[in-house]
Structure 1
């Protein structure tokens, strides 16, 4: 049993003052086989603590169904950190942000259209309580008060950026205490008055601040509210993340090193966000909404101290040098470098067109109105709506009211174009970017394939149901009676592939190719000439690609490959002129 707390404005561990130098590593963005590699590198850099969020949606993917195995095995991750002599800070709050799908909240919460998130609303609290009844008993034996490495735990994340319901914060705090959590509890918020006022419980819980620069200003603001407790930056943003269509973010190490030096010199504690970013595998990338909807890319490289594949960067070396001025670096034998290989070109040899495979992927449901993914019990992926439209009708504008997030439109299976939530106009006037169709006398079938590109993870637009949220119109007239296929793409085993054939018009298609690997190693998949879609390697969803960039390669960790034959399936939404891909030794992120 050990004690960690606060005395005379300092953190105290076992009666001695301690300065926390922490780095964020998200176990859920890294293959478990690499957890120890990343944690060893953290310790070798001079860090004494690792911090991680716990995403609710990963651990309770369906209500009442829990997952704590494989990449979800947070207990094993903490055990490895403990074995290496690291402190652990855990952030298991219901909401985590983290550029993660829905900020870690499970999508099934939105099956209830009346749900109120992150406040003292009993239906939401009941779901949190059920989750905590399962999660917190797994963490309790790992607390420092029980001989484990966990020294502190967060009750909510950047809540002052969202709301001011301090009764809700009190409820979460008491719920942790009632379930045996007796370590230091904290909140983290931006260093602004309204954020600290809305997100903190100063008399009972340590408040910490998040920032990417000018530490003195944020610490001064925190001291106005909390003058008698340690200064800690819970998120020092030493890099940044990317949205599709933006430039890749890079931040030089000189300023980062200088700001760290100033924080340590002032006696403050710090958590680098991120020390190692990792990857948004599958459909777990989040999105932002400030002026428009902005989905996050698959890579979560973050321009951190370790790159996406875990390699040491110049920023790592610069930070290690700063830390060495304050402590003697631990004697750590670094693991052997992880091998990178270029496996060359792989040609896709088989295809399965989506519209021929709908019944293999899901049972259709009939609804009077289009319904959202959540209303139909679906969390991620795609959803396809189809209805018969009578004719004849003159050229008429198609209006989706509203679409979340990106819809491909088909008339009698012929591609008409894309409707995107950012630029879709509900008026009757036909603009250049609108889709308008003529319906022949015999009528036609209208199809709408909607991609969930990631639920919003931050801010006032957090409640973000996916699919068609209200209805579909031709001009003023709503269309009714829809056949709907949910397409989570979590099982592709029933797809019926055939030899690749030429196609004159874009059709969403699954492409399959096999390739041989003699020795498994990390590699990077480049999809030059492909447009937009998702990649599955040996049944594992690697994530999304999109020709608009900035990301041009998908990271492929060696544990996902087999010595011998491997299967690659690419779901391409639009078209590729030549269905080949290349496995390269280096990432291309911008």
Structure 2
């Protein structure tokens, strides 16, 4: 068996100095059929280690549930890392940020009164303990001293930017050790005095996160940690995008130059990201620093390895930089291949209103519930209240999280948006019947003090100043929609190629492939919604951009017939969708 230890100045692999050159690759953002390919390409770039978070909320989507299969089979992923001859760094949180929904914390965690967030509060820690008791037995047997690839395990994530509860971090160290983790533990924080001091804990090596000015940032880290190896635990080589913004990019040459500076220091590092992948389904997070900004479906991150696994100019520039300090494989990935280009006319449609009328799972309340109260932890929630006949009406929602489409007896009358701070809507005079609000959870905040907040309609909803207290609620979370899509496929009303699509509606059809291959689905002419291919939710689309095409991994496709279902909230000019030759991530900021 091998050993991996912290020396006075270096990491020590079997007693000899060792430089960790890692790249972040999140198994939960990549189709399992493509894990091996992405890991192999990391080694070809010159890296020796793969780093990944573990998202608690994905593994435990409901209280009492824990999954580690399919795309969540972290053991299989780490075994592939080992098979490639590489090491692994595991970051189990419990908080991970990662531009991931709720920073990886399950929404159900905050159902109780007074549950703490990222603190030593007893209710929170009881659930964290249960989580680690489930996940650490998967990781412990794969540590390097037991013949596996894992050389480091991280405690929490950039905690110094959030709090200063040393007792919390100390308990996490204890739980990891009690759970069988014997390799060195680390923390990570941005290299400022306050963050490093707030985030430090006995028993864990401090690492820093930054993307430039390496000598300066590492000097700050050394000033707070006089011995031990220096490491940039997240070396930022790209950035993420949010809906309504632009596609963030950085120069390949400048990124490589920054990496050379870091390499020249002799420090260890982990590239964030080596390969970003995709926020499939409803897994994207959001930021809110006064303005709510949900992250797009693509997590391409302008990383060296693109969302579809293509090596980019940045990949080759960074490989060259690494080669100037360390031996790298001569082999490189093959050239990009254009995806098939074709169009599909979707040929059936089912109105969400028709589905809702016959749904057996409406919940009745004599108050306005949040989406969390009805266990709608992602996706959509449909609210309805009865309207008596009346004159002009002013609808006021105290707070909407995050976007509501408003209907009166099936007729769309407007939208309310958290991002735009829209809370008022004038309804048609004399309208009566059902008031319906289709509320979309666009992603839970993943960073800062708004982690853990409830979704749906918050506070109160009033009409002409009078609160509406009688509500029926229908959950349309990921599980509900996945099951619904399966039952609807191919069974709706027929559509012609020239018909417009009036949402909210499920619109579907099929296409044929000779063999599975990566695709890019373009939805120009459509407004906003989500897409399923063979029952696999490939993510959200929105005409607000910047992203124009959704990545469809070959692992979600089959040779022969493939079914596609689009849930369109608003409208589309026609039921046609197009597959394009490559990514369309939107206008760049450079």
Alpha carbons 1:351, 1:510 under 8 Å: kept: yes
Does 1:410 find its partner at 2:407? yes
2:376 corresponds in structure 1 to 378
Q: 1:397 to 1:71 in 2, by over 3 A?
A: same
* 1:362-398 superposed Cα distances (whole Å, 9 cap, x missing partner): 61010012212211112211001111122323x2321
Q: 1:281 to 1:360 in 2, by over 3 A?
A: farther
Does 1:498 find its partner at 2:493? yes
Q: TM-score, normalised by structure 1?
A: 0.95
Take 1:106 and 1:148, find their aligned partners in 2: how far apart are those partners? 29
Alpha carbons 2:158, 2:190 under 8 Å: kept: yes
Q: Tell me, what secondary structure is at the counterpart of 1:435?
A: strand
Q: Tell me, what secondary structure is at the counterpart of 1:102?
A: helix
* 1:380-424 superposed Cα distances (whole Å, 9 cap, x missing partner): 11001111122323x232111211000001112211111001333
* 1:145-294 correspondence runs (5 A): 145-201=145-201, 203-294=202-293
Q: Tell me, what secondary structure is at the counterpart of 1:323?
A: helix
Match of 1:349 among 347, 355, 375: 347
2:118 corresponds in structure 1 to 118
1:431 corresponds in structure 2 to none
Unaligned runs of 5+ in 1: 427-433
Q: 1:360 to 1:160 in 2, by over 3 A?
A: farther
Q: TM-score, normalised by structure 2?
A: 0.95
1:429 corresponds in structure 2 to none
Take 2:352 and 2:453, find their aligned partners in 1: how far apart are those partners? 26
Alpha carbons 2:275, 2:306 under 8 Å: kept: yes
Q: 1:438 to 1:347 in 2, by over 3 A?
A: closer
1:460 corresponds in structure 2 to 449
1:436 corresponds in structure 2 to 426
* 1:199-225 superposed Cα distances (whole Å, 9 cap, x missing partner): 111x42101110122122221221121
| Stretches of 4+ aligned residues off by more than 6 angstroms | 335-338, 501-505
1:482 corresponds in structure 2 to 471
Q: Say what the alpha-carbon RMSD is for the aligned residues.
A: 1.8
Alpha carbons 1:524, 1:583 under 8 Å: kept: yes
Take 1:43 and 1:516, find their aligned partners in 2: how far apart are those partners? 35
How many Å apart are 1:472 and its aligned residue?
A: 0.6
Q: 1:287 to 1:367 in 2, by over 3 A?
A: same
Comparing 225-234 and 543-552, the one that deviates more = 225-234
The count of corresponding residues between Structure 1 and Structure 2 is 579
Q: 1:320 to 1:362 in 2, by over 3 A?
A: farther
1:89 corresponds in structure 2 to 89
* 1:15-34 correspondence runs (5 A): 15-34=15-34
Q: 1:337 to 1:106 in 2, by over 3 A?
A: farther
Q: Tell me, what secondary structure is at the counterpart of 1:151?
A: strand
Match of 1:586 among 560, 582, 586: 582
Q: Tell me, what secondary structure is at the counterpart of 2:487?
A: coil
How many Å apart are 1:344 and its aligned residue?
A: 0.4
How many Å apart are 1:278 and its aligned residue?
A: 0.5
Take 2:532 and 2:154, find their aligned partners in 1: how far apart are those partners? 35
Take 1:340 and 1:569, find their aligned partners in 2: how far apart are those partners? 24
Unaligned runs of 5+ in 2: none
Take 2:372 and 2:183, find their aligned partners in 1: how far apart are those partners? 37
Alpha carbons 2:232, 2:270 under 8 Å: kept: yes
Take 2:78 and 2:238, find their aligned partners in 1: how far apart are those partners? 25
Alpha carbons 2:521, 2:577 under 8 Å: kept: yes
Take 1:455 and 1:132, find their aligned partners in 2: how far apart are those partners? 22
Take 2:322 and 2:135, find their aligned partners in 1: how far apart are those partners? 34
1:430 corresponds in structure 2 to none
* 1:125-140 correspondence runs (5 A): 125-140=125-140
Take 1:166 and 1:386, find their aligned partners in 2: how far apart are those partners? 46
